[in-house]
Amino acid sequence: MAPKRANAGATAPDEPQAAPGRPATATAGANVIVLAEDVTLLELLKHALDGRQRVWRADNALHAADLLVAAHSGIVFIDAALPAHETPTLVDRLHEQFPDFPIVVTGRRDDELELGDRISSGAVFRFLHKPVSADRVRNFMDAAARRQGEQPDANLSSSSTLPAASARALESVRSIRLPHIRLDPVRIRRALRIFVAIAVAVVAVWALTSLVRQKPWEKISIPDITALAPAQKDEPVPTPKRADPALSRLLSTAGIALSQGRLAEPEGQNAVELYRRALLADPGNVEALRGLARTTDELLLRVEQLLLAQDLPAAAGALDAARSADPANPRLEFFSAQLVHERDRLQGASSVAATGGAAAEQAQDERLNRLLTLADERMRRGRLVGGADSAESYVLEARDTRPGDAGVQQAMNALSGRMLLAANEAMKDGDMIAATDWLDRAASLGVDGRSVARLRAEIESARLATVQEDRSRLLALANQRIAQGRLLDPPGDSARHYVDLLSAADPGYSGLAETAALLAEALLDDSGRLMRDQRYADAEAALAAAGSAGARKSEVASARSALNSARARAVASQEILPEGALTKIEHQPAKYPVRAASRGIQGWVDVQFTVAADGSTRDAFVTDSSPAGSFEQAVLDAVQGWRYQPRIVAGKPLDQRVQLRVRFELAGN
DSSP character at residue 646: P
In one-letter notation, the amino acid at residue 609 is F
Round to whole Å and give the CA distance between 228 and 285: 10
pLDDT on residue 237 = 46
Q: What's the half-sphere exposure (Cβ side, CA atoms, 13 Å) at 538?
A: 14
Query: Are 649 and 569 contacting, i.e. CB atoms less than 8 angstroms apart?
Result: yes
Given the DSSP bridges, would you call strands 617-626 and 643-644 parallel, antiparallel or unpaired?
unpaired
pLDDT on residue 153 = 45
Report the sign of the C-alpha dihedral through residues 8, 191, 139, 17, in that order: positive
pLDDT on residue 155 = 40
What phi and psi values does residue 585 have, to the nearest 5 degrees? Answer: -110, -50
> Minimal CA–CA distance to 382: which of 13, 5, 7?
13
SS3 630: coil
pLDDT on residue 208 = 56
Round to whole Å and give the CA distance between 87 and 622: 80
Rounded to the nearest 10°, the torsion over CA 258, 262, 266, 269 is -20
Q: What's the half-sphere exposure (Cβ side, CA atoms, 13 Å) at 464?
A: 5
Round to whole Å and give the CA distance between 525 and 520: 9
Round to whole Å and give the CA distance between 309 and 302: 10
Given the DSSP bridges, would you call strands 54-57 and 31-35 parallel, antiparallel or unpaired?
parallel
pLDDT on residue 165 = 43
pLDDT on residue 188 = 61
pLDDT on residue 185 = 56
Report the sign of the C-alpha dihedral through residues 618, 619, 623, 624, in that order: positive
DSSP character at residue 355: G
pLDDT on residue 202 = 58
Given the DSSP bridges, would you call strands 656-664 and 603-611 parallel, antiparallel or unpaired?
antiparallel
Between the alpha carbon of residue 106 and those of residues 36, 40, 315, the distances in Å are 10, 13, 39
DSSP character at residue 389: S
SS3 306: helix
Round to whole Å and give the CA distance between 550 and 521: 9
> Minimal CA–CA distance to 145: which of 179, 106, 104?
104
Output the pTM of the full model: 0.31
Q: CB-based burial of residue 404 (10 Å sphere; 0-12 exposed, 13-18 middle, 19+ buried)?
A: exposed
Give a three-class secondary structure readout of 19-79.
Answer: CCCCCCCCCCCCEEEEECCCHHHHHHHHHHHCCCCEEEECCCHHHHHHHHHHHCCCEEEEE
- Hey, what domains does the chain have and what are their CATH numbers? 31-182 (3.40.50.2300), 468-573 (no CATH), 576-664 (3.30.2420.10)
Round to whole Å and give the CA distance between 5 and 154: 42
Other Cβ atoms closer than 10 A to 545: 24
Helix and strand totals (H; E) in the chain = 25, 13
Query: Are 520 and 503 contacting, i.e. CB atoms less than 8 angstroms apart?
Result: no
pLDDT on residue 206 = 57
Q: CB-based burial of residue 155 (10 Å sphere; 0-12 exposed, 13-18 middle, 19+ buried)?
A: exposed
Helices of type H across 429-487: 432-444, 449-484
Contacts 24+ apart (CB under 8 A), 311-314: 312/339, 312/342, 312/343, 312/346
SS3 651: coil
Round to whole Å and give the CA distance between 255 and 322: 17
Rounded to the nearest 10°, the torsion over CA 254, 255, 260, 266 is 10
Between the alpha carbon of residue 88 and those of residues 227, 281, 565, the distances in Å are 21, 35, 69
Q: Is 370 left (phi over 0), alpha (psi -120 to 50) or beta?
A: alpha
Compute the residue count for the chain.
669
- What DSSP assignment string belongs to 189-237? HHHHHHHHHHHHHH-HHHHHHHHHHH-GGGGS-PPPGGGSSSPPTTSPP
- What DSSP assignment string belongs to 87-139? HHHHHHHHHHH-TTS-EEEEE-HHHHHHTHHHHHHTSSSEEEESSP-HHHHHH
What phi and psi values does residue 500 have, to the nearest 5 degrees? Answer: -65, -40
Round to whole Å and give the CA distance between 294 and 122: 18
Other Cβ atoms closer than 10 A to 437: 16
Rounded to the nearest 10°, the torsion over CA 448, 454, 458, 464 is 120
Q: Which residues of the chain have pLDDT under 70?
A: 1-30, 71-73, 149-193, 195-243, 348-357, 669
pLDDT on residue 640 = 92
Query: Are 661 and 606 contacting, i.e. CB atoms less than 8 angstroms apart?
Result: yes
pLDDT on residue 138 = 84
pLDDT on residue 352 = 53
Q: What's the half-sphere exposure (Cβ side, CA atoms, 13 Å) at 427?
A: 23
DSSP character at residue 5: -
pLDDT on residue 224 = 46
Given the DSSP bridges, would you call strands 656-664 and 576-578 parallel, antiparallel or unpaired?
parallel
